[in-house]
């Protein structure tokens, strides 16, 4: 079983419009409503890859009820912890002509100390059966900024490989707890290290505590810095579509590759192919399976000198 943690879950609503025009009224062609948040997206992709996936985190209020009802229709197992506050909603507006997406994210609910304690107990129980765990996304209000650092240390004590995918101070604190893998994008990595040069920044992130670093570089693919070496993997061409969730699919690729014992080049190939195939799918947590299979044979992997 692979465990994913989403402390700030969301009910994802995607609108597709013929053309998005500022200051104008729009007729919506298509509406999709799905359980969201980075870890839930990761779990859905893991399940599609054939892995048992369990999701935990928080859900509450009417939007949380809808999220859990939608999640019950899907493969991941629901171990979300109920809270009094309402789960946030995210709105993605997709321009059908350009493929560009405008994202509107509500703030998360306030989480009480008692609700956090209930989550920590649930997390500890679930770690007992986990092959790996992903800690994903932002922290909702009320949680300590070192929450992820605490969860990383708990996973390491249980000897469960842990991947951290967050940003800002939560990433800075979390990386000091020595996670097995962090997966920032280029901007998050630059914010953490102060360097815009990805290779230098990835090495710096490892010195700060991460065992391995995989950086998402957009159209340039992904860069991995690990004790075993340095690699960069890129798709054969830029892919246009809805990028929401592409990074989450990459996390699923990395985690599934880890538990299957794949080497780093194969893990990166899977992560890049899944990420590109997600851009071609209508919503986060999904990927175009045909495009994914084609991409697996065309992703370019380059090894860098240490």
Catalytic residue among 248, 263, 266, 288: 248
Nearest to 93 by CA among 15, 11, 12: 15
For position 172, what pLDDT does the model report?
A: 95
Task: Supply the mean pLDDT for the chain.
Answer: 91
The CA–CA distances, whole Å, from 235 to 69, 90, 108, 232, 287 equal 36, 28, 34, 10, 15
> Mean pLDDT, to the nearest integer, of 212-234?
91
For position 94, what pLDDT does the model report?
A: 82
Residue 128 is among the residues annotated as catalytic for this protein: no
Angle at alpha carbon of residue 21, lines to 105 and 275, rounded to 5°: 50
pLDDT tens per residue across span 57-100: 999 999 999 999 999 999 999 999 999 999 999 988 888 888 78
Q: 76, 44 in Cβ contact below 8 A?
A: yes
For position 219, what pLDDT does the model report?
A: 78
Angle at alpha carbon of residue 152, lines to 206 and 263, rounded to 5°: 55
For position 267, what pLDDT does the model report?
A: 95
For position 132, what pLDDT does the model report?
A: 98
Burial of 148-182, coded b for 16+ CB within 10 Å and e otherwise, reads: bbbbbbbbeeeebbbbbbbbeebbbbbbebebbbb
For position 296, what pLDDT does the model report?
A: 79
pLDDT band, very low/low/confident/very high, at 27 (cuts 50, 70, 90): confident
pLDDT tens per residue across span 125-173: 999 999 999 999 999 999 999 999 999 999 999 999 999 999 999 999 9
What is this structure's pTM? Answer: 0.91
pLDDT tens per residue across span 237-257: 777 766 777 889 999 999 999
Q: Which of 20-29, 131-140, 148-157, 293-302 has the lowest mean pLDDT?
A: 293-302
Nearest to 267 by CA among 301, 306, 292, 216: 301
Sign of CA dihedral 58, 61, 67, 71: positive
For position 306, what pLDDT does the model report?
A: 65
More confident residue, 187 or 284: 187
């Amino acid at each position: 079983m692979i465990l994913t943690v989403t402390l700030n879950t969301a009910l994802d609503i995607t609108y597709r419009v013929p053309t998005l025009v500022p200051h104008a009224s729009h007729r919506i062609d298509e509406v999709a409503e799905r359980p969201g948040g980075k870890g839930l997206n990761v779990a859905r992709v893991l399940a599609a890859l054939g892995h048992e996936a369990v999701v935990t985190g928080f859900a509450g209020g009417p939007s949380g009820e809808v999220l859990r009802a939608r999640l019950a229709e899907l493969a991941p197992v629901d171990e979300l912890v109920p809270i009094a506050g309402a789960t946030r909603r995210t709105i993605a507006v997709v321009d059908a002509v350009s493929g560009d997406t405008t994202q509107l994210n509500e703030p998360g609910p306030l989480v009480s100390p008692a609700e956090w304690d209930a989550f920590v107990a649930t997390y500890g129980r679930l770690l007992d059966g986990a092959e790996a765990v992903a800690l994903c996304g932002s922290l909702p209000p009320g949680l300590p900024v070192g929450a992820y650092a605490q969860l990383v240390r708990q996973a390491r004590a249980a000897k469960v490989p842990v991947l951290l995918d967050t940003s800002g101070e939560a990433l800075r604190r979390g990386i000091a707890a020595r996670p097995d893998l962090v997966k920032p994008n280029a901007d998050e990595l630059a914010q953490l290290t102060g360097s815009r040069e990805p290779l230098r920044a990835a090495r710096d992130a490892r010195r700060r505590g991460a065992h391995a670093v995989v950086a998402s570089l957009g159209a340039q693919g992904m860069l991995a810095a690990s004790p075993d070496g340095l690699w960069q993997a890129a798709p054969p061409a830029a892919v246009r579509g809805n990028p929401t969730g592409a990074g989450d699919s990459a996390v699923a690729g990395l985690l599934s590759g880890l538990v299957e014992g794949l080497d780093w080049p194969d893990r990166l190939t899977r992560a890049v192919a899944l990420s590109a195939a997600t851009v071609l799918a209508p919503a986060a947590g999904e990927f175009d399976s045909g495009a994914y299979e084609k991409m697996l044979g065309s992703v370019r992997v380059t090894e860098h000198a240490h």
